[in-house]
Structure 1
Amino acid sequence: MRCKASSTTERPGVRAPTSRRRFMGMAALGSAAALGLTTISTRKPAHAAGHSPAVVIGTGYGAAVTALRLGAAGVPTVMLEMGRLWDTPAEDGTIFSSMLTPDRRAMWFKERTEAPLASFLWMDLANRDIEPYAGVLDRVDHGDMSVYVGRGVGGGSLVNGAMAVTPKRWYFEEVLPQVDADEMYRTYFPLANAMLGTNHVDRDWFETCDSYQFARVSRAAAEKAGYETAFVPSVYDFDYMRREEEGLVPRSALASEVIYGNNHGKRSLDKSYLAAALGTGNVTIETLSEVRGISQQQDGSYALSVRRIDESGNVLGIHQLTADHLFLGAGSLGSTELLLRARDTGTLPNLGEEIGQGWGTNGNVMLGRANHGQDLVGSLESGMPALGIDAWDDPVNPVFAEIAPVPAGLETWASLYLAITRNPERGTFHYDPGADRAVLDWREEQGQPSIDAAKQMFDRINEVNGTSYRYDLFGDTRAFENRFTYHPLGGLVLGEATDLHGRVKGYRNLYVTDGSLIPGSTGVNPFVTITALAERNIARILAEDVRTRA
């Protein structure tokens, strides 16, 4: 059975990049990697004498959208990325390491990997001691909460599970009531999916392949308990996955490659938005460049203090870059920290008290179930989920639970889930001057509503199926893990810290373009929402704020 992955088709008004533009951008990325360059461009750097008309901090979803649209409009733009470019094979011939044999490429300056599954049968089998290095995944600890973020050109797109989910419209309207939902669902969500390369698994292949036996087992258990399941679109190429299973191409999703990067098959941002942005000839990406400070000059432009490092973490120097228009796309943690530091150190004193508010985990909670001996999940599990238990429309207990893999390469009799719940609890950030960092104020008990919601669903599934929870997966004896999140949202909420299109209140030509705009929850994996919202916002900003050259 051949798997024919169906891509999102382009609709009227949806602006996909030309193949020539993508080709030029991919060539620039490949050339930079081959030469070991930290500045990536299709021509000479777009800024001169330390100044650029536009600077975008970060290379994640919102940042990539913004840079492409600026570049396509003829605006010279510099992107600053604190991680490295991931496009050069190591000595073993791969760009990224797998989950089963992680090495220094796995994590951002850690001495040991920190996988979300802390143990199996109470043994730490997943983690390894590693050399500190500019790896692809970071786990940022804030007391009772840890946040996983991607490091490198492409940000979180390098390390996520590729689940490209558009939120339920009724919930989107509830979360962001000020945003025109008709416009979002008519124009910007289709645009985001087309640009990202969203595709769908072939249903016939799904029912017979080895890759998703684990998902079919969980589906049967959920449906026996009266829950519906839903297929999930993806930016992983499902046709490539079919060929992986047939042994026709190198394995990637089927080789336990997920959280530490993916060597083949995934349409991460460096293969979509960022390649197209570089292909405009107006966008330059500077890697291993961390913005530490922002101030405003007398002429209204912004001055950035940028720290350059090498891949071993050695500081190479600090330089200044100025910009007429500054876009923050460093993610919920990064963008929030930059503005908190600027406000509380007095370099941007007009920033309001809304900075650092409205942060949430997207209701994330992870759990596992122990299956019956006859319910084999299989030794081959795709690292890219394609199915979820969808009870988000339940008026009493809304839950969307990803049916996640345990890609251990052997039979585990375990079903794993990342549940997204409707948790109303929100955290706040404050600036710690001694540590010179933003600190998240979040207590472990604030995650209890997420546990309660997930427990209600999975208690029912276990009861009907005669199964039980796994208590050996999270380093102790807990069945539910809510002390980390993959989906940090908020901190610079749309309509509060910014206006309704991401313009930061109190300052002209200063913008936010990432997940920090969303107040804590989307009800699904958030990257499609972040992308679509960024498309909406930059369209208005280009029309009203930026002098374009296109």
Structure 2
Amino acid sequence: MNAATGFDEDVVIVGSGFGGSVAALRLAEKGYRVRVYEAGRRFADEDFAKTSWNLRRYLWAPALGCYGVQRIHRLPHVMILAGAGVGGGSLNYANTLYEPGPGFFADPQWEGLADWAGELAPHYATAKRMLGVVERYPHRGPVERIMAGAAEDLGVGDTFRHAPVGVWFGRPGERTADPFFGGEGPERTGCTLCGNCMVGCRVGAKNTLVKNYLALAERRGVAIEPLRTVTEVRELAGGGFAVTTRRTDGRLRRGERTVTAERVVLAAGTWGTQQLLHRMKRSGALPAVSDALGRLTRTNSEALDGAVATAVPESLGLARGVAITTSFHVDDRTHVENVRYGPGSNLMGALATVLVPGELPLARRFGRVVRLVLRSPARQLRLASLRRWSERGIIALVMQTADNSLTLSLRRRFGRLRLTSEQGHGEPNPSHLPEAHRAAEAIAARMAVEGGVPAEARGSWPEVFGIPLTAHFLGGATISASPADGVVDAYHRVWGHPGLSVVDGAAVPANPGVNPSLTITALAERALSHWPMAGAADGRPSQQQLLDR
């Protein structure tokens, strides 16, 4: 306990993803005593699953004894892919680090609060340096040719580009001293293009947060506790917070513990942060949280479709490379990226099925699947086979800047309080994207030409049932001008609880239309740059001053 403040810690951070890792390092540099709680486990490079079939190391399902990196959540309107473990989503994301276009910064939810493009520009630069961004994926192979060709066939060849990625390429498989932070960071190994970035990089080439922000934070004394799930954040009558955790893996004993902290940073990912805020508002632990909580929850207007060949086109080597390498724009608001898994990581292929028009009623969508299977059962069996799926296909990750959203709330189901969703502000959250279908068909056509093997555009089973997939779940505790409009102020402080901050994807106010990791990192860098040095006066305006402007 700090005798001067009476608290166990200066700051407790909930979560160790892109927002939490930035907070950990920058607050340690400013002299704060920091403790990070992470629900997931800590992974060394060799601890990651070799393929996605190693469920205990790949999937996150603690009730089943699985403590891997891949979380899957379901709401009535979307299925969500997220990350778990020390390093959060950086462990299983696709290393893809785009900046959004100007429309993102001009969204009405926040445009009048700051010159966001101008203010964030230096923080994007810092985030790129810290995450080791290579501005253009440096290799060109068959998949990159297929994507370039698909863009040309769609009449948008001028939008094709190689993706910016956070990977140490170096000499393939060769271990070297830290190349990013003057030797202060961990040793690294050059990328071998194995394709398993999203299962967990066993090589040590992927620039996960464990290799940069968190490594540097721990060197400065930050304590990171893995396998601790935060169950309550309660504001204390005299100021500060009590944070209660339990062992994530505790089956016989909950192992509950409570520490006090002067300030708390929520960075548990959009799902975790929203769930915690909803529960604490309902229980009275954080009674002043805005009623706007849950509004403007975004899915990045996303779909996951793709193309699969009936046999392995051996000459193409579709599984060789990093997870995402290229992209193009179908139109002004629709961004398409190729995605791959490495050889043997075929589990996600179980989500794929026939591509069917999403505007049809459910019964007709399902009937279309049945008819296509009955019309050509042998072909559909070959397409649906998981054998060497990652070597036969290209996933198309499609994102939009469309202004659509969901509103999340808690509802009691089967005796437990669970998050649920309804359509929110703007356009309805899409159950399918016609633009994604066009892209998938163009990719399939080019794949067949390049590989000499019949290929077909594919959708997903959730999409058949009107539930899109997203890997980029955002918002719900958004930046706003007042508590009537959102949950946090322009400095990421929770309205009504200014000692509590939200510094993760939950604060993002709009669909960026690109992978959001770089933007979450830049927003976190900006937020933490405004924190005072430990023990110094806080130069930020109070929330009342913000409201009086």
Q: Do Structure 1 and Structure 2 share a fold, with TM-score over 0.5? A: yes
> 1:273 aligns to what?
213
Deviation at 1:277, TM superposition (A): 1.1
Deviation at 1:46, TM superposition (A): 13
The 3-state SS of whatever aligns with 1:448 is: coil
Q: Is the 8 A contact 2:23 2:528 kept in 1?
A: yes
Trace 1:89-108 onto structure 2 (pairs within 5 A): 94-99=46-51, 101-108=53-60
For 2:126 and 2:420, the matched residues in 1 are separated by 34
Aligned match of 1:474 in 451, 460, 463? 460
Q: Structure 2 length as normaliser, TM-score?
A: 0.75
Deviation at 1:317, TM superposition (A): 1.1
Q: Is the 8 A contact 1:365 1:482 kept in 2?
A: no
* CA distance 1:240–1:172, shift in 2 (3 Å): farther
For 1:425 and 1:156, the matched residues in 2 are separated by 23
* CA distance 1:181–1:105, shift in 2 (3 Å): same
Q: Which runs of 5+ in 1 are unaligned?
A: 1-43, 112-130
For 2:230 and 2:62, the matched residues in 1 are separated by 21
Trace 1:161-310 onto structure 2 (pairs within 5 A): 161-174=94-107, 176-177=110-111, 178-201=113-136, 203=138, 206-207=139-140, 212-227=141-156, 228-240=159-171, 254-264=193-203, 265-281=205-221, 283-310=222-249
Trace 1:350-369 onto structure 2 (pairs within 5 A): 350-369=288-307
> 1:13 aligns to what?
none
* CA distance 1:162–1:46, shift in 2 (3 Å): farther
2:165 maps to amino acid: S
Q: Which runs of 5+ in 2 are unaligned?
A: 176-187, 345-387, 481-485, 539-549
Q: Is the 8 A contact 1:364 1:420 kept in 2?
A: yes
- Tell whether 2:268 aligns with 1:330: yes
Q: Is the 8 A contact 1:423 1:447 kept in 2?
A: no
Q: Residue deviations 1:380-415, cap 9 Å, x none?
A: 4224212111346x2xxx211111125346585533
> 2:500 aligns to what?
510
* CA distance 1:53–1:449, shift in 2 (3 Å): same
- Tell whether 2:383 aligns with 1:426: no
1:136 maps to amino acid: V
Root mean square deviation, CA, Å: 3.6
Aligned match of 1:416 in 395, 398, 404? 395
> 2:178 aligns to what?
none
Q: Is the 8 A contact 2:479 2:508 kept in 1?
A: yes
Deviation at 1:241, TM superposition (A): 5.1
Trace 1:153-164 onto structure 2 (pairs within 5 A): 153-164=86-97
- Tell whether 2:456 aligns with 1:499: no
Q: Is the 8 A contact 1:371 1:414 kept in 2?
A: yes
2:477 maps to amino acid: L
Q: Is the 8 A contact 1:58 1:330 kept in 2?
A: yes
Q: Residue deviations 1:108-154, cap 9 Å, x none?
A: 2268xxxxxxxxxxxxxxxxxxx623222211222342212211110
* CA distance 1:183–1:545, shift in 2 (3 Å): farther
* CA distance 1:475–1:186, shift in 2 (3 Å): closer
Q: Is the 8 A contact 1:161 1:385 kept in 2?
A: yes
Trace 1:440-451 onto structure 2 (pairs within 5 A): 440-442=420-422, 446-448=428-430, 451=433
Which has the larger displacement, 167-176 or 516-525? 167-176
Deviation at 1:295, TM superposition (A): 1.2
The 3-state SS of whatever aligns with 1:83 is: coil
- Tell whether 2:79 aligns with 1:146: yes
Q: Is the 8 A contact 1:217 1:375 kept in 2?
A: no
Q: Residue deviations 1:285-326, cap 9 Å, x none?
A: 11111111121112111111211243x755441111111111
Deviation at 1:182, TM superposition (A): 4.4
The 3-state SS of whatever aligns with 1:278 is: helix
* CA distance 1:187–1:440, shift in 2 (3 Å): same
Deviation at 1:53, TM superposition (A): 1.1
Question: Taking every aligned residue pair, what percent have the same amino acid on both sides?
Answer: 25
1:390 maps to amino acid: H
1:184 maps to amino acid: E
For 1:236 and 1:452, the matched residues in 2 are separated by 32
> 2:61 aligns to what?
109
The 3-state SS of whatever aligns with 2:307 is: strand
For 1:85 and 1:452, the matched residues in 2 are separated by 40
Q: Structure 1 length as normaliser, TM-score?
A: 0.75
> 1:486 aligns to what?
471
> 1:400 aligns to what?
335
> 2:353 aligns to what?
none
Deviation at 1:355, TM superposition (A): 1.1
> 2:182 aligns to what?
none
Deviation at 1:233, TM superposition (A): 1.0
1:78 maps to amino acid: R
* CA distance 1:47–1:431, shift in 2 (3 Å): farther
For 2:309 and 2:4, the matched residues in 1 are separated by 58
1:294 maps to amino acid: V
* CA distance 1:347–1:370, shift in 2 (3 Å): closer
Q: Is the 8 A contact 2:18 2:209 kept in 1?
A: yes
For 2:144 and 2:507, the matched residues in 1 are separated by 33
1:535 maps to amino acid: E
1:503 maps to amino acid: R
For 1:331 and 1:432, the matched residues in 2 are separated by 20
> 2:483 aligns to what?
none
* CA distance 1:313–1:236, shift in 2 (3 Å): farther
Which has the larger displacement, 45-54 or 502-511? 45-54
* CA distance 1:465–1:217, shift in 2 (3 Å): closer
For 2:446 and 2:52, the matched residues in 1 are separated by 34
